[in-house]
Amino acid sequence: MGLRSFIVMKDLIDLKIFARPDTAIEADIAAKICEKHGFIFEREKREKGGGVHTIVEVIEPPTAKTIEEEPQEQLELRAPIITFMGHVDHGKTSLLDAIRKTKVVSGEAGGITQHIGAYSVVHNGHPITFIDTPGHAAFSEMRARGAHVTDIVVLVIAADDGFMPQTVEALNHAKAAGVTIMVAINKCDLPTANIMRVKQQLQERDLMPVEWGGSTEVLEVSATKGTGLDSLLETMSLQAEVLELKANPKASMRATVIESRMDPGRGPTATVIVQSGTLEVGEPFICGPYFGKVRTLINDLGQNIKKVMPGMPAELVGFNGLPNVGDEVIEMETERAAKRLSDERLEEIRLKKLAVPRRSSLETLFANIEDGQRKNLRLVLKTDVQGSLEAIIKMLHEIKTDKVDIDILHSAAGPISEGDILLASASDAVVIGFNVKIESTAVSVAKREVVQVKLFSIIYELVDQVKEAMLGLLDPETREKPLGHARIKQVFKLTRGIVAGCVVTDGRIERKARARVLRGGQSVFDGHMDTLRRFHDEVPEVRNGLECGIRVAGYTEYQEDDVIECYLLEKFAQAL
C-alpha cells in the first residue's frame, strides 16, 4: 500500500494485535486495514499448489504526484526570485517600495498594493518577483527547512556607511546558500556617500565589481530619489537570463510557503511562490502535515485570480491548519488522498518528536564522512572580541589533514544569535562559541533545529576538539561517553565561590570528568568539573539519587533547574 510500517503497526495495535514488520497477519485483518486506507483487498485462488494467495489492488496510491523528468520543450522561462539583504537601515525596505512604486505608477492595472510578503513587477515585458521579508534569519530559516526559493540575493549597502556587521552576516548567509549575489549601493544621493570605499570593501571580500574586471554586478542607486532603479531591474533580468531559470507550467504543481498567518475571516492563509506547474483554484494539495483544496488565490494587488504561474507569488486560502514557512504545497490527485497523506505525516511527526534526528556534530563528523556525505567540517564561529576571533581562525586553518577541510561559514564577535543557529541548521554546520553567551531565543531554536552548539573558554581546548574531530576521520575513536546528569536545585553563593546544589538524576557524576551545563536541553557551557562535594567533603564520585555540590571550572552563572551533564571523552591512539 506504500504506507510506512509504523502506520500499519499502529492500526494493528488498534485491533489489539501487536505485530512487528515481519509478522504474518490473518487475511481478514489485512482486509480491514486495506479498507481503512482506501484499498480494495482481493483474494486470488491459484490452481496449482492449491494455496490461497492474497493480493492487494492499489486504487489510489497515497503519495503526492511524483515529479517526472521535465521534457525540455515544455520548460518555459520563469520569473527570477529576488531577496534583498543587508544591514539594518541601509534601505532594503525603501528599495523594495521604490521599485514597486515605479511599476505601479507606470501603469500596472488596478488594485491596491497588498503586503503579502512577495510581489512581482514587470520589467521590459518580463516578470521579476521580490520576496518582501528582508532579513537573513528568515532567509536561512527557509533554507533550513529545505526550501530553496531565492535565485538572486541583492546585498544592499548604504554608500555612507559601507560594510557593517549585518552586511557581513547577510553575505555569509547568501554565500552558504550558493545563490547569485548582486550588490546595490544605496543612498548614493547623500553628500557623505563614498562609493569608492564600498567598492574597495567588496573587492576585499571576493566580490570584485564587473567594472573592475570582476564578476559581481554592482549598481549605484538611491531609493529616495529613485535613481538607478531601472538599471538595477535590467541587471536582474540579465542575471536571470544567464541563470536560465526555467520551469514547466504543465508539470504537477509545487509551491513554497514564504509566509503564513491566521486570517480572522478566511482562516489559515499563506503566501506561496510557485516553483513548477500551475497553481489553480480547486486543486487539492498537501503541505507539510496539512492538506486542503485551493479555495481562493489573491495576487499582490489584492485581486482574486484563477491561476498562478511558476516564479509568481500569491496568497492561498484553503489549508486545514497553519502551514510552516518553508513547507511545500504539493498538488494531489484527490482531497481524500491528500487527507490520508496528511494523517500519515501527522503520525510521523508525532513519532519523530520521540526520536532525535541525526545532525552534524563534532562527534559524528567522522561517521558522516564515512557515509561519503561530507568532506568538510562546517563551522559558525562566535567569539568575545575580534582579536580572539582572528587568533582562532588562524589556528583552525593551521590544522592540516588530507581528508577534511574546515569551512567557516560565518565568524564574528558577539553572542550566538538565532540567525547563527539558523545558518548552521540550513548548512548542517556546528556552532562554536568562545567566551560568549548564547542568546535565550537561540537556545530554543538550537533545540528545535538540533544544532550542536559547543562553547569554550580556553582557546587550545577549542582548537584541540576541532582537531580531534578532524583526526577522527582517520580513526574514529574519540567519542563522548555519558556518565550521568545532575539537576540544580539551588544555587549557593559561598565565600569560596558559587556552588550549584544538585541532585544526581541518573548515572553518576565524577570529579575528574568533563561537564557541560544544559539549559532547556541545550548546552550553555562546556568544560570540566572543578569540585565535587558531599556535605563538606571532596568526593571522587556521586551516584544517582544523592545530593551534591558542584562547581564547573570557569562557570558561575548557574540557574535552578539547569542540568549538569557529566561525560568522558574517550580517546584511542590516533595517527595522521
Binding site for ligand GDP (CB under 6 A): 86, 88-94, 134, 186-187, 189-190, 222-224
Residue 312 Cβ vs ligand GDP, minimum distance, rounded to whole Å: 24
Residue 225 Cβ vs ligand GDP, minimum distance, rounded to whole Å: 6
Residue 250 Cβ vs ligand GDP, minimum distance, rounded to whole Å: 38
CA-wise closest residue to 466 among 371, 400, 385: 400
The residue among 83 and 276 lying less far from ligand GDP, judged by its C-beta, is: 83
CA-wise closest residue to 482 among 564, 425, 383, 426: 564
How far is 554 from 449, CA to CA, in rounded Å?
28
The residue among 72 and 192 lying less far from ligand GDP, judged by its C-beta, is: 192
How far is 348 from 370, CA to CA, in rounded Å?
28
Residue 193 Cβ vs ligand GDP, minimum distance, rounded to whole Å: 9
How far is 470 from 416, CA to CA, in rounded Å?
23
The residue among 229 and 413 lying less far from ligand GDP, judged by its C-beta, is: 229
Distances (CA, A) of 549 to 258, 502, 514, 564, 566: 49, 6, 16, 11, 14
Question: b or e along 466-502 (b: 16 or more beta carbons within 10 Å of the residue's beta carbon)?
Answer: bbbbbbbbeebebeeeebbbbbbeebeeeeeeebbbb
Residue 160 Cβ vs ligand GDP, minimum distance, rounded to whole Å: 8
The residue among 185 and 207 lying less far from ligand GDP, judged by its C-beta, is: 185
How far is 113 from 527, CA to CA, in rounded Å?
55
Instruction: Please report which residue ranges of 131-222 form alpha helices under DSSP H.
Output: 136-144, 165-177, 195-204
Residue 404 Cβ vs ligand GDP, minimum distance, rounded to whole Å: 38
Contacts of 2 (CB under 8 A, 6+ apart): 58, 61, 62, 63
Residue 74 Cβ vs ligand GDP, minimum distance, rounded to whole Å: 39
The residue among 192 and 495 lying less far from ligand GDP, judged by its C-beta, is: 192
Instruction: Assess contact for 30 and 42: CB atoms under 8 A.
Output: no
CA-wise closest residue to 318 among 298, 344, 345, 348: 298
The residue among 222 and 478 lying less far from ligand GDP, judged by its C-beta, is: 222
Residue 156 Cβ vs ligand GDP, minimum distance, rounded to whole Å: 6
The residue among 187 and 467 lying less far from ligand GDP, judged by its C-beta, is: 187
The residue among 80 and 86 lying less far from ligand GDP, judged by its C-beta, is: 86
